[in-house]
């Protein structure tokens, strides 16, 4: 079941993540979506939730490379439904994927590491 809960504070979002069984990040194939890195994807991973995500090359590398979810054709509702059912019907596998996502965030896919890359880029551009 999907339930719209409106605008929430960060604390309420974290509480909600604690009751969820999966995170869904489905963008349609358009423009800059292919190369985007949605914050929501990383929030779900940090929360230990398995994800169902659009099957874009960069996203597949993040999701399947870290074994933290399932990538699907975002224009195929049957595939999205199937991935969600797979996670719901196999809670142990979903928990394993969620733990893998959490580990990926803790070991490198986080702002502490990415901020260094950004600052290095700024330093490089300033020097050029």
Q: Where are the domains of the chain?
A: 10-127
Residue 57 in 3-state DSSP? helix
Point out which residues pair with 69 in neighbouring strands. 51
Residue 71 in 3-state DSSP? strand
Cβ within 8 Å of residue 45, ≥6 positions away: 51, 66, 68, 101, 102, 104, 105, 109
Name the stretches of the chain with pLDDT < 50: none
User: What are the distances in angstroms from CA 77 to CA 5, 9, 50, 71, 87?
Assistant: 23, 30, 18, 13, 16
What per-residue confidence (pLDDT) applies to 116? 85
Identify the architecture of domain 10-127 in CATH.
3-Layer(aba) Sandwich (3.40)
DSSP 29: S
pLDDT one-digit tens code per residue, 72-96: 999 999 999 999 999 999 999 999 9
What per-residue confidence (pLDDT) applies to 128? 86
């Amino acid at each position: 079941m999907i339930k719209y809960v409106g605008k929430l504070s960060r604390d309420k979002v974290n509480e909600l993540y604690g009751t969820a069984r999966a995170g869904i990040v489905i963008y349609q194939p358009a423009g800059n979506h292919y190369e985007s890195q949605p914050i929501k994807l990383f929030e779900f991973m940090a929360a230990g939730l398995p994800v169902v995500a659009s099957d874009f090359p960069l996203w597949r590398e993040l999701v399947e490379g870290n074994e933290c979810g399932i990538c699907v054709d975002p224009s195929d509702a049957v595939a999205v439904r199937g991935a969600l059912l797979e996670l719901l019907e196999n809670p142990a596998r979903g928990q394993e994927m969620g733990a893998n996502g959490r580990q990926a965030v803790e070991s490198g896919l986080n702002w502490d590491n990415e901020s260094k890359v950004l600052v290095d880029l700024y330093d490089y551009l300033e020097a050029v």
